[in-house]
Amino acid sequence: MRKKGTYERKIIGPEMLKSKTLWKILSEAGKKVATINIPMSDREEVRGLVIPGFLSGSEGIPHPNNVKEKIKRKFKIDKLQGDLETETLDRVEADPDFFFEKVNEITDEMAEISLYLLQEEKWDFFMPVFMGLDRIQHFFWKHIDPTHPRHEENKYSKFVRNFYTRVDKIMGDFLKSVDGDTSVIVVSDHGFCLVHTEVIVNNYLEEQGFLIMKSEKIDMEKSKAVSYGYGDIWLNVKGREPKGIINPGEEYETMRNEIIEYLKTVTIDGKKPIKDIRKREELWWGPYLNEAPDLTTIFNVGYQAARQPEITNKNKLKRYINENPRWSGGHDGTHNPTDVQGILGILGPGLPKGKEVKVHLWDITPTILDLMNIPVPADMDGKPLKLEFTTRHSL
């Protein structure tokens, strides 16, 4: 997203959350909770413990302090490493063996500490997040997907499959650590698909005069539209951007429609990388709609937007791509859950077995609240799943 009143990109963080977290709601309802390594979680006063995850300034630091001291005494660490360090991610191509060494190491540590905390006390709600699967599949998808045009079956294919087995065993250890009255939910925040090509969206915006260059850099003030690297497209609107040039209202709508119509015609090597371009009000809703991108590019499987607001030299073929992207697997290019379906499994007393459901991610929190007989707040999107209980119980 953009910093309000600027042309700068802003990375989200937990300080931006406006509603109560699930674990805060449960805590206020008298439940004892533990959250470990959840992205966008932060230090928070709850009945239990929080170990913040990805995007928190307190990532990995147990809270409250007595939990931090207990973990330090037992495991001789001050901080839980729930994700790979940037330095490790930056050297994946140069040293993939080191990557797997580190991801296995932090996953085992996560599992050991999480199981220790789970088994030591009685909890009403306990939620750890394991990040390794995401990182592995981004970098090594081509080693396990035979449909990938650069598929390589080698020792890294085995390393990936071994990691799946490792996570499966960890799941088994968790199941052995809870009693038969406990419900267990396994959920991913997204799925994966192959990525073989990055599309440099800004080059195509430049081709039609929507984007202006100056001294080999994007002129944000004179450009009508720019993409920051994830398929997002932002217009330069009067009264919103510092040097806006597009009038709100009719001119704004006309400009959005022109960009949509043009990008839908883009063809690379006889194929259309772009499936659709959606206006923000077609994808999102609520009081913060105006902070969303004006347009979002939805790519066909195999394509994603270039990661930075970069631009390359013009060419006669109008072929603006990166054919050797850092990632061989992804999910944000398609922006479409039907192309990158996640997983959901719910096991517990009174729950039907073998029932298939199709749900939105935002239905999971209301479902957890419903399982625990706690009202769903009015400001929460999503609805509890209709699980057809044979008995009712707490999580």
Over the stretch 117-167, which tens digit does the pLDDT of each residue have?
999 999 999 999 999 999 999 999 999 999 999 999 999 999 999 999 999
217 phi and psi, to 5 degrees?
A: -130, 155
Report helix, strand or coil for 220: coil
For the chain, the straight-line distance linking the first and the last C-alpha, in angstroms and rounded, comes to 36
Dmax over Cα atoms in the chain, in whole Å?
Answer: 68
CATH topology of domain 196-330: Gyrase A; domain 2 (3.30.1360)
pTM of the model: 0.93
pLDDT at 27 (0 to 100): 98
DSSP code per residue over 345-380: EEE-TTPPSS------GGGHHHHHHHHTT-PPPTT-
Sheet arrangement for strand 33-36: 48-51, 33-36, 125-128
Residue 153: count other Cβ atoms within 10 Å of its Cβ: 11
The answer to whether 47 touches 33, Cβ cutoff 8 Å, is: yes
The answer to whether 181 touches 349, Cβ cutoff 8 Å, is: yes
Return the H-helix or E-strand segment holding 283. helix 280-283
Strands 274-279 and 33-36: what pairing? unpaired
Asked if residue 389 has pLDDT above 60, the reply is no
Q: For residue 363, give both structure tokens.
A: 């239905």
Q: For residue 147, give both structure tokens.
A: 């449909």
pLDDT per residue as tens digits for the range 295-344: 999 999 999 999 877 788 888 888 999 999 999 999 988 888 889 999 99
* Domain boundaries for CATH 3.30.1360 within the chain: 196-330
pLDDT at 388 (0 to 100): 66
Q: For residue 87, give both structure tokens.
A: 């330095």
pLDDT at 287 (0 to 100): 92
Residue count (the chain) = 395
Asked if residue 392 has pLDDT above 50, the reply is no
Q: For residue 66, give both structure tokens.
A: 């007595």
pLDDT band at 394 (very low <50, low <70, confident <90, very high): very low
10 phi and psi, to 5 degrees?
A: -120, 130
Percent of the chain with pLDDT over 90: 86
Q: For residue 291, give both structure tokens.
A: 């902070």
Q: For residue 283, give both structure tokens.
A: 């994808």
The answer to whether 40 touches 53, Cβ cutoff 8 Å, is: yes
Q: For residue 102, give both structure tokens.
A: 């580190």
Asked if residue 390 has pLDDT above 70, the reply is no
pLDDT at 120 (0 to 100): 95
The answer to whether 148 touches 194, Cβ cutoff 8 Å, is: yes
pLDDT per residue as tens digits for the range 157-207: 999 999 999 999 999 999 999 999 999 999 999 999 999 999 999 999 999
Report helix, strand or coil for 161: helix
